[in-house]
Every structure is written in structure tokens, then in C-alpha cells.
Chains A and B, each alone.
Chain A
């Protein structure tokens, strides 16, 4: 299925990513390293709608916009966020373009979360925790996987019922 979209649609999706990350910031977390990954929802939907190059652009706009809006552009939070988003973006785009017919958005989301968390753990080992990172690795990966499965289900539901998406179909 092909969809009709413009560069402005990419900007719209990036704005939703930033909005979701702002919403996520408001939700108190049981553990500091726990993330719901709400901002991944537009990226997951974009895998169906956009060409790969535009999804890459979306990921970069999301990173930059998020950094500007939250004011973390010059902090280590930005570094972690950017590294995780780029890693998950690459993995999700790869899976989506190579084996899209054999994988659901739940699978793509889970693989993306795994990539993001592994890169963030690597950065955490390099810059913050050192060898002690192994103590947070298991809970981070498990929680990341759980939230990625939920986000995958939500994006599947959205793509199946969205009127907006229905209006964008060209063939």
C-alpha cells in the first residue's frame, strides 16, 4: 500500500514525537531509567507511510526538536537520547524495508527498543556507571521490551483504524 504525503507531513509527525516525549516526561517512572517510548509511536506509523529516507529525516527532526523543546540539547541526556533514537531508527527502518511482510509493528518496535537500550547501556558503561552497568542491564532491557510490545500493539491498532491514514492511501 502506498500513501500520499509531503515533507510537511514529516514535520507534523516530528511535532507529535516531541509532544509525546513531553507527555512521557510528565509521567513519573518507577525507575529512573524506565521509558515508555511514546515518542516512538509516530516513528512506527511512519514506517508504513514514509519512504526510508523520510523516516530517517523524522528521527533526526525528533532528536533535534526534542533537544530544543526540553532544553537538553547540550546535555548528556541529549547524547543518550540521540544515540538510542538513531540506533532504534536504523534497526526499525532496516527490518521494515527488508522483511516488512513477515514482521508486525510489535516485532519491529521490540527490535528497535532492544537496539536503543543496548546502545544506551553501552554509553552508560562508557560515561556514567562503568562495569556496574550490568546491574541495570537486565531490568532496563526487560522493561524496554515490555513497553515496546505495548507501543507496537498501539501502533498496530492505530494503523488499522485511523481515518487520517485512510485518507492518505493512494493505491
Chain B
């Protein structure tokens, strides 16, 4: 699939994912997207995604709301905090993988502006592919601000160096794969059918 087609497909699919309110359907959509991403040659690392989900849900649970479902060591896990936390974490991960499926650093609009936008995505990929791109671990530490600043400075230097080397870092989804293209069309169509069905019924 060409970068332009991938992008168009991603843009068409995104509203169906964003507007989906059901956690179950959103989970299925996410599973399919991740599966297509992996089948297309992308790497899916479980631990960083689990940590992301755990981090977002924990942040939501800090502010209890609604019915108490159960307690963990005396800490109440409430329905009103858990469900939005789960939904938000699925949304975040889904958007990341939809973006990875649809946005390619080889994207070109055959114009100066298009090439520049392509470079923006190239650098964005280089930043996000960096392990621990944002040093959350420094946030609450003594002199954490200094460490964050020097970390970001190093990140800036390394990403720019990578850009100057003209290295092609898009090692994720191969350019042409008819089955993946057809699967994305099918998933998109199904997502819209479900969305419309829920609006009508």
C-alpha cells in the first residue's frame, strides 16, 4: 500500500475509532489494528503498552468517582474512574497504532510543503522510537527539572544527528500488501456500520 493510500485509509478510519463509545468494540478495533500492524511487519512490544495502560488507569483511579467496585490495599477502585481510564488508555494506544499504520516517513505530497511535512513525520518517528522518549521517572525527583532538560537536549541532538544521516527509519509496514489493504478497508467499513447501527437503534 502506498504511503498516500495508507494515510487516506487511516484518516477515514480514525473518526470511527474516536467516536466509538463502547469499550468492548474499541478493544476489538484496537486488537485488529495491532494485528494488522504486526502482520505488516511492525513491532509490537507488550510491556511498554501495558505500562502505558497501567499508568493512565492509575492516574484516573487517584480521583475516585461513583460506585466502589473493590479495594486494593484499602484503596477504593471506583467504576467512575476505572471505565474512563480504560477507555482513554485504549484510545491513546489505538491512536498511536492507527498513526503508525497510516503515517509513513516516506509520505510525500510532491511539493516543497509536502516534503517538509514528510520530514516532520520522519523526526516524529525518530523521537517516538527512542526508548523512554519522555523521562517521566525524573518528574518527581530532586533536581528532576535539570535532568529533564538535559535529557531533552540529548534527545534533540541524537534525533537531529539521525536526520542528518538521512537514515531511513521507517522499518515498520512494507509498502505493498494487498491483504492488509483489504483488511483495513473491511475493518473501517465494519466500524462505520457498527457506529451507524448504534446511532439508529
Contacts and interface: CB of A to CB of B under 8 A. Distances in A.
A37 to B, nearest CB: 15
A43 to B, nearest CB: 14
Nearest to A60: B113
Nearest to A70: B95
A12 B160 contact: yes
B119 A11 contact: yes
A164 B160 contact: yes
Residue of B55, B95, B126 with most chain A CB atoms under a 10 A cut-off = B95
Given A12-B160, A28-B59, A65 B124 contact: yes
A126 interface: no
A15 interface: yes
A91 interface: no
Contact of B156 (A16, A28, A68): A16
A12 B119 CA distance: 8
A11 B116 contact: yes
Nearest to B62: A28
A164 B154 CA distance: 8
Interface residues of A, number: 35
B124 A71 contact: no
Could you tell me the dominant secondary structure of chain A's interface residues? helix
B120 A61 contact: yes
Interface in A134-163: 154, 157-158, 161-163
B104 to A, nearest CB: 12
B116 A7 contact: yes
A10 interface: yes
Contact of A64 (B92, B117, B128): B117
A75 B14 CA distance: 11
Given A15-B127, A65-B117, 10 more contacts: A11-B119, A11-B122, A15-B126, A26-B52, A65-B121, A68-B103, A71-B14, A154-B145, A158-B149, A161-B150
Interface of B: 7, 10-11, 14-15, 17-18, 52, 55-56, 59-60, 63, 88, 92, 95, 98-99, 103, 116-117, 119-124, 126-128, 133-134, 145-146, 149-150, 152-153, 156-157, 159-160, 163
- The 3 lowest CB-CB distance pairs between A and B, nearest first, are A15-B123, A71-B14, A11-B119
